[in-house]
């Protein structure tokens, strides 16, 4: 029973937010409430999501995408796109304030997006792009809040795990923001060797 529940949980994480999966005696029923239709899955297919090979999972996911029950994973963001997001996030923070932007994360990086383990190589590439644009832009100018929020949104929209941290240092007092994913931090969690204690961590949906 526990194995069945784990397999259903894997399927549920892949589905679009308007779809719900319910376990049945012979498999599962996916309810697509946006289109008011239902899709059946066999027990064997459900367990392939949890225990099958990557090729089997990819084949099943393709079928769900074609049926409109799941969203295809986004490709890597281009260098130009990273720059646009970085400047846009910076302007939002300057206009609305950092606190309000954090509350908007549920719109920009919805919690229902798939949260798969991140690839260290991809995160490292994103970190280089974010920091390169940040240093070249007189508008952003290495602002940690802008870099952290941009990295968090871009990673979550690609469906990978990421956590946005807000930290504090007492002596001398300072605030710092960074996003962690795949063991890397964007920007660095301890700039110039100064450690910051996390006081707020957001792992999705602005929570």
Domain locations in the chain?
Answer: 2-66, 79-202
Rounded distance between C-alpha atoms, residue 42 and residue 136, angstroms: 53
Whether 15 contacts 64, CB under 8 Å? yes
Q: Is the pLDDT of residue 175 over 90?
A: yes
Q: Which two tokens stand for residue 171?
A: 């002596």
- Provide the phi-psi class of 142: left if phi over 0, else alpha when psi is between -120 and 50, else beta: left
Angle formed at CA 123 by CA 117 and CA 124, multiple of 5 degrees: 140
Q: Is 125 helix (H, G, I), strand (E, B) or coil?
A: helix
What is the pTM for the complete model shown?
0.68
For residue range 101-157, list pLDDT tens digits in order.
999 888 787 665 456 677 899 899 999 999 999 988 888 888 999 999 999 999 888
For residue range 21-66, list pLDDT tens digits in order.
888 888 888 888 777 888 888 888 888 877 778 788 778 888 888 8
Rounded distance between C-alpha atoms, residue 111 and residue 98, angstroms: 20
Q: Are strands 19-24 and 163-169 parallel, antiparallel or unpaired?
A: unpaired
């Amino acid at each position: 029973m526990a194995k069945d529940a784990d397999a259903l949980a894997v399927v549920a994480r892949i589905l679009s937010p308007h779809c719900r999966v319910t376990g049945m005696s012979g498999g599962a029923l996916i309810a697509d409430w946006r289109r008011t239709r239902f899709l059946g899955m066999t027990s064997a297919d459900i367990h392939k999501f949890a225990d099958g090979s990557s090729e089997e999972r990819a084949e099943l996911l393709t079928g769900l995408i074609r049926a409109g029950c799941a969203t295809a994973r986004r490709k890597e963001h281009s260098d130009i796109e990273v720059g646009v997001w970085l400047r846009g996030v910076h302007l939002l923070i300057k206009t609305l304030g950092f606190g309000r932007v954090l509350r908007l994360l549920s719109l920009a990086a919805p919690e229902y997006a798939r949260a798969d383990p991140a690839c260290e190589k991809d995160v490292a590439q994103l970190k280089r792009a974010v920091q390169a644009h940040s240093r070249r832009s007189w508008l952003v100018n290495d602002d940690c809040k802008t870099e952290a929020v941009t990295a968090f949104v871009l990673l979550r929209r690609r469906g990978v795990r990421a956590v946005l941290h807000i930290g504090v240092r007492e002596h001398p007092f300072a605030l710092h923001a960074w996003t962690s994913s795949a063991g890397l931090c964007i920007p660095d969690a301890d700039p110039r060797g100064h450690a910051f204690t996390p006081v707020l961590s957001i792992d999705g949906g602005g929570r």
